[in-house]
Structure 1
Amino acid sequence: MPQQFTSDTYHSLCDEVASLDPDLKNIITKYGYPPFWSRPNTFESLVHIILEQQVSLASALSALNKLRERTGEITPARILLLTDEEMRACYCSRQKTAYIRYLAEAIIAGLISLTAFEQMEDAAIRQQLTALKGIGNWTVDVYLMFALHHTDILPLGDLAIVNAIKRLKGLSNKTSRDMLSAIAEQWQPYRTIASMLLWHFYLSDRKAKA
């Protein structure tokens, strides 16, 4: 079973990964510790991550809140009762409506179990989830980091993470993903924690410039 972090171990792990890289240590020195970003291991959390694909966090949250209002509780069974029109009224695109339904059907059919995922390795979880239409590596990465709290995930499909590494390390915008991945090897086995620091740096730096 992969190593996990908790709210109790979070700051000590931030310190540990920061000890591996002075640039990460500087983030803590300048901006403090990142928030403990966490979500429950639920169907709703996965729906939320699907809604966040390629849109702003605010837009995704608006759609999630609309779904909550419509269903009372976002569960696979209740989602499958909604019509296309009702999903559209909740700001869900046709594509994301399909993706959310595929996920709901897979859970109801027993093809995947979120509870079982809590005892499984990253690769096995990734294999099961990416077999579902509309769930790619970025969605799985965020789920593993925020819901299952696995410590060694690097979401290079996330533009903010990519830009944060380039800015922190003074790299060219043309720096390849392979090069970024190689740089991140020094953060193992705490690449999730490093990513939290990078998100914190990206958001804090942008806020300071604004």
Structure 2
Amino acid sequence: MHSQTISLKAPYSFERLVRRLETHPDPQMRVDAEQKTLRRAFRVGNHAVLTTIRFTGDQEQPILSWETHAALRENEAAILEKNIRHMFSADVDLSPIYAQMSQDPRLVPLTERFRGLRFLLDDDLFQSMVRTIIGQQINLAFAATLMERLLELAGEKVEDADGNCFLAFPTAERVAAMDVEQLRPLQFSQRKAEYIIDFARVIANGQLELDGFWRLSDEEILAQLTKLRGIGKWTVECLMMFGMGRPDLLPVADIGLKNGIQLVYGLGERPDEHEMRKIGESWAPYRSYVCLYIWEMIGAIKRKEPWVHA
């Protein structure tokens, strides 16, 4: 068995993470809110590794630990820990973000209401792009359904000691070998199926190296990916935000963000892209996190959490 404790810088709210998963479901994740555990199959090289993530302590003294019974070499265990740290934004310091947001009195209620909320990132950039393509122009619940169907069709299965099945996301090679006709009965549109398989083939054929993106600027990543069919600016911004954890993105085409800004700033109508950019100027260099907190406000309203907008 491998296990490790990961240090977290306060605040970190497991409760906010769980509440966000209610409106942003992840079919790979099994959550036990009472025990403060998450179980998920991570892909480490050629292995599907079932891992338990456990949160202890509290919001102001948070501790995260992980364990797996999978047989891993030392370097593989290190990769798994790196992926977990990334996925749970363990190395993010919220202090400067909150200091920045405190300069705008309309944002202060968000930092108070959702204190300790961080991004739950995708641990793999191929998965992140496929998830984002799936989510284009459909609601979150249906996107999660399509993700689950893709996992059941092509994901790698791993079972725990009690026979519970978990699914690791399929590799680019596995998706690249598929045909559009395999996805259409699962309610994937023709175009969405084509875009996913086309992207997988670009990766599997070595035409694009996703690991190299970590060394590129936002603009360079945008330029490379928008050359591909079915991938526009919003899709790339989501990849950089939810896959890479880039801190200063403002996806002005996002309808949910438009609605949230309208509510937070008391606007008479949805802001256009020019107005969103103007409002977002003061959020830099943490625009991604301000977006997260505005999205979470919308999520809290959908979940009917108590919320009074001043």
TM-score by length of structure 2 reads 0.62
**Residue 48 (str. 1) matches residue 131 (str. 2):** yes
Distance change (3 Å), C-alpha of 1:71 and 1:12: same
Distance change (3 Å), C-alpha of 1:91 and 1:171: same
Q: How does 1:117-128 map to 2 (within 5 A)?
A: 117-128=213-224
What's 1:140 paired with?
236
Distance change (3 Å), C-alpha of 1:111 and 1:50: same
The offset of 1:194, in angstroms, is 0.7
**Residue 22 (str. 1) matches residue 118 (str. 2):** no
> Aligned equivalents of 1:72 and 1:167: distance in 2?
40
What's 2:248 paired with?
152
Identify the structure with the greater strand proportion: 2
CA RMSD of aligned residues (A): 2.1
Q: Is the 8 A contact 1:14 1:33 kept in 2?
A: no
Structure showing greater radius of gyration is: 2
Identity %: 30
Deviates more, 1:98-107 or 1:167-176: 167-176
Could you report, residue by residue, the CA deviation over 1:12-67 in whole angstroms, capped at 9, with x for unpaired residues?
24413322322111112234343433111331221111000011112112111211
Q: Is the 8 A contact 2:128 2:242 kept in 1?
A: no
Q: Is the 8 A contact 2:176 2:200 kept in 1?
A: yes
> Aligned equivalents of 1:20 and 1:140: distance in 2?
29
> Aligned equivalents of 2:240 and 2:203: distance in 1?
17
> Aligned equivalents of 1:16 and 1:43: distance in 2?
34
The offset of 1:130, in angstroms, is 0.7
Distance change (3 Å), C-alpha of 1:41 and 1:95: same
* Residue segments in structure 1 that go unaligned for 5+ positions in a row: none
The offset of 1:98, in angstroms, is 0.9
> Aligned equivalents of 1:139 and 1:32: distance in 2?
28
The offset of 1:168, in angstroms, is 0.5
Distance change (3 Å), C-alpha of 1:117 and 1:82: same
Identify the structure with the greater helix proportion: 1
State the one-letter code of the partner of 2:223. Q
**Residue 168 (str. 1) matches residue 267 (str. 2):** no
TM-score by length of structure 1 reads 0.89
Using CA pairs below 8 Å that are at least 6 residues apart, which structure has the higher relative contact order? 1
**Residue 60 (str. 1) matches residue 143 (str. 2):** yes
What's 1:32 paired with?
115
SS, match of residue 156 in structure 1: coil
> Aligned equivalents of 1:77 and 1:125: distance in 2?
22
What's 1:184 paired with?
280
SS, match of residue 103 in structure 2: coil
What's 1:76 paired with?
172
Q: Is the 8 A contact 1:31 1:204 kept in 2?
A: no
Q: Is the 8 A contact 1:17 1:193 kept in 2?
A: no
State the one-letter code of the partner of 1:40. D
